[in-house]
Amino acid sequence: MLDVDSTLCGIEGIDWLAALRDDAVAERVALETAMAMRGEIPLDSVYANRLGLVRPSREEIRKLGDLYAASLAPGASRVIPRWIDDGIVVALVSGGIRQAILPVAMTLGITENRVHAVDLTFDSSGAYAGFDAASPLATATGKREVVETMRLARPLLTVGDGSTDLATREVSDAFAAFTGFVARGPVIRKADVEVESFDELDGVVRNGI
């Protein structure tokens, strides 16, 4: 299982969207994102607030999808399809926006049913109309719940950079802290292994920890 923002791709999608607004919105959203990923505040308390401040349009989500594809972690486009060819199940579990993540998943060979993220809704003009508030992925422990529900084959390795990813350690065989884009001390200290690249991660997948 892979996280997306700051793991598979080198951006935080909501922060990029917020930067399209004024400086006050961008700074507030970036601060709340960082605090939630460090585990200093629960994601539940800021998820709706951040989207409410940004209110991204359908077209902005399309552009975010293009940016995800352009900011793939080095080696990911080579390593992931090879895993899939070898019969290794690869799933994306993200608190990000599903409509933006799906295109990059498809280019890597990850099927739609293996992409778990939060859906947005838009009105007839393409303006933001809300998000799936029932999604567990908008909460601090939602990734753990989703991974448990997926019943993936064992051994199961989960990979991410933030506290919401670390929560999956309880339902996986091992957790790898990905530090290729950002290193969060509280997450690294509780991880089974730290990896800085997809080539390193490939070694963990192939050889174990």
What are residue 183's DSSP bridge partners?
Answer: none
- Average per-residue pLDDT for the chain: 96
Query: What is this structure's pTM?
Result: 0.94
How many CA atoms lie within 13 Å of 181's alpha carbon, on the beta-carbon side?
A: 18
Candidates 56, 207, 165, 70; CA nearest to 119 is: 56
Of 39-43, 123-127, 188-192, the range with the lowest mean pLDDT is: 39-43
CATH of domain 13-207: 3.40.50.1000
DSSP 8-state secondary structure symbol assigned to residue 130: E
Summarize the confidence of residues 170-178 as an average pLDDT. 97
Amino acid in position 136:
P
Candidates 65, 33, 69, 36; CA nearest to 167 is: 36
Residue 209 has pLDDT above 80, yes or no: no
Longest dimension (CA), the chain: 50
- What are the residue boundaries of the structural domains of the chain, listed by start? 13-207
Summarize the confidence of residues 71-90 as an average pLDDT. 97
Active-site positions read: 3, 5
